[in-house]
Structure 1
């Protein structure tokens, strides 16, 4: 009887577990949320290349799209890494974008170039445009951008060259070091120094020629379409204002204002196409189709991370009016990374070369060591 009692308890517990498995209790997961979609997929994104289309959809607890939504977005770059720096160390751990946007359908889309590899944080605050329609909520999303595979390839090639040169140099240094009369250094050392001098001169020439070609190419590419920050038609007037001096690592604010050309009153819900273009290579860095708020404004803050001049462009195309286009240029001040950051990669490559050099010396001495008939 006692055993039957235990069997009954175990059977009851099993039934409860099965019931809870198929009928889970309500949890905090059944809450409004923001769904993220990117194009291309994050695994296919290349840092500092083409812009990534980011789409956000606000949904309720049942997964149905919310309507009449106000988004407040903050996009942050990956945090600093002490051992492996990115291509833009000054950008690490900073704000890349701040955007306030109206989304009547609950969906928001924008395009943004991701400057570096790592985990980006997208903080989204969602509020209703109509008071009481739903409870405001906040959500943080992670966007993981992989490193450019070309960078791994180039690093592997450079490491291979350093290892070959290091072993060869160590082999020469480990050879006969006898100084003959009239010589200041052994012949192998003199040959090594001469070869190093020739290689250094060739590298300097290569770098200088490439720099001149790049400067000439950039000068030819750096052209912007002339436009005024204010344009007016019979029905509307659009104005572009904001920071025209920016610093890498800091946000620059930009504002579009649309007013009625006849009354001067702000025009709400006017669709505005905004974009930021890097003039160095005429590359689109940011793009967004947004709507003006009740004050007729559309404001955002973005970071110009590459230190080159940019052009901010905004266009409106109302159905009953002509297309109006405004723009202005933003001069960007580049910030050199701290000296210790430059030494991180240099120390790695120097260490690889020194170890290869020591390996070359050891290999030469091992090969030249006499081996007896019964040597061990």
Structure 2
């Protein structure tokens, strides 16, 4: 019995196949996407390495990766609330050395879930691995600073209003309210008018940007090249031309030998998804076509601007290293979705609450004694 227990405990303590995750920049230094940033933003580099029980890379593995965004939190919404609790990326590829490496913009703060499924290309070559990894993205310090400044301003407004209202004031004959109160109400009216103007101007700008997005898409669609035939190889890029924020759009690469009609496998390619307005890369991946000559993936466009998917094949595709790369392109029109009214009302309640706190404190502040 003792020998049996010892053996069972030894088996339980044996190392298990695992997936190792490394990132560039390191976890803790990855920041969420910032719209209209002053400096160009680059996607985070995510490296997955499947290891066997000895800690060595697994050979001839098939890796399926799904990236889930942080869950919804209506009380502390992010810059892209529609993206919360959705699937950001879905990709499956053959990894001869057990490695998968992608570049991906992480749009919001919070904890991302990486669902990894590793299976052998050859049946029963190794035990499949299912692992749930995570990447935490901290909020940009600039956002906290801006919120602190805004909260301080609102608190001061409440303090000033409470101090004015709480003072001993005399109503002159013919006046409805003391001059200080009337001055305060006039200031609040000006602020309300300014807020209404800001909302209306923002709505007009959003509508004009929608039209510019449409025109940008029309211009970029003229440069589409979803199919190329070169040196007996037909390359095709197919998938959704219209995408919606919060939902996956699916794409596929197909390579075919035009002479034999058979799939062209093991062709190296590079994928880049580019946002057209500011020209930043949202997703990038280097891989090869599989035995069926294809590669498929799904990705979400979290930004409502038009994008372009580019797939560049190595010059070695036609055996001539001096030839220029073959590039497939596809324009994507992205439909943005406005945040729910409930989220905007919650934000308004927070700001109103800060003013109310300042007002209560201002009412209790002492006033100078008049002789």
User: Aligned partners of 1:331, 1:227: CA distance in 2, in Å?
Assistant: 13
Corresponding residue for 2:337?
335
Corresponding residue for 1:168?
160
Q: Secondary structure at the match of 1:226?
A: coil
Corresponding residue for 2:230?
233
User: Aligned partners of 1:209, 1:84: CA distance in 2, in Å?
Assistant: 25
1:199-231 CA distances to partner (integer Å, 9 max, x unpaired)?
455566677778888968x95995748231111
Q: State yes or no: 1:47 paired with 2:32.
A: yes
User: In the TM superposition, what are the counterparts of 1:169-318 in structure 2 within 5 Å?
Assistant: 169-200=161-192, 219=212, 224=220, 226-318=223-315
User: Aligned partners of 1:119, 1:169: CA distance in 2, in Å?
Assistant: 41
Corresponding residue for 1:127?
119
User: Aligned partners of 2:16, 2:50: CA distance in 1, in Å?
Assistant: 11
1:87-122 CA distances to partner (integer Å, 9 max, x unpaired)?
111111111110011111111100000011111110
Aligned partners of 1:270 and 1:318 also within 8 Å: no
Q: Secondary structure at the match of 1:276?
A: strand
Aligned partners of 1:162 and 1:352 also within 8 Å: yes
User: Aligned partners of 1:241, 1:29: CA distance in 2, in Å?
Assistant: 46
User: Aligned partners of 2:127, 2:191: CA distance in 1, in Å?
Assistant: 67
Corresponding residue for 1:373?
none
1:175-200 CA distances to partner (integer Å, 9 max, x unpaired)?
24433233333211221233334445
1:139-160 CA distances to partner (integer Å, 9 max, x unpaired)?
1101111111111011100110
Q: State yes or no: 1:138 paired with 2:135.
A: no
2:22 is matched with which residue: 33, 37, 57?
A: 37
Q: Give the superposed CA RMSD.
A: 2.7
User: Aligned partners of 2:21, 2:182: CA distance in 1, in Å?
Assistant: 63
Aligned partners of 1:94 and 1:250 also within 8 Å: yes
Distance 1:82 1:213, change over 3 A: closer
2:52 is matched with which residue: 60, 65, 74?
A: 60
Q: State yes or no: 1:101 paired with 2:93.
A: yes
How many Å apart are 1:329 and its aligned residue? 1.3
Corresponding residue for 1:367?
367
Distance 1:345 1:202, change over 3 A: closer
Aligned partners of 1:73 and 1:122 also within 8 Å: yes
Corresponding residue for 1:10?
none
User: Aligned partners of 2:200, 2:260: CA distance in 1, in Å?
Assistant: 59
Q: What is the aligned residue count?
A: 346
User: Aligned partners of 1:40, 1:210: CA distance in 2, in Å?
Assistant: 35
55-64 vs 128-137, greater mean Cα deviation = 128-137
Corresponding residue for 2:37?
none
1:45-82 CA distances to partner (integer Å, 9 max, x unpaired)?
11014311101111101101111111011110111124
Unaligned runs of 5+ residues in structure 1 are 1-19, 371-376
326-335 vs 189-198, greater mean Cα deviation = 189-198
Corresponding residue for 2:38?
none
- Greater Cα radius of gyration, structure 1 or 2: 1
Q: Secondary structure at the match of 2:12?
A: coil
Corresponding residue for 2:327?
325
Q: Secondary structure at the match of 2:147?
A: helix
Unaligned runs of 5+ residues in structure 2 are 1-5, 34-40
163-172 vs 176-185, greater mean Cα deviation = 176-185
Aligned partners of 2:165 and 2:181 also within 8 Å: yes
Aligned partners of 2:167 and 2:367 also within 8 Å: no
Q: State yes or no: 1:152 paired with 2:154.
A: no
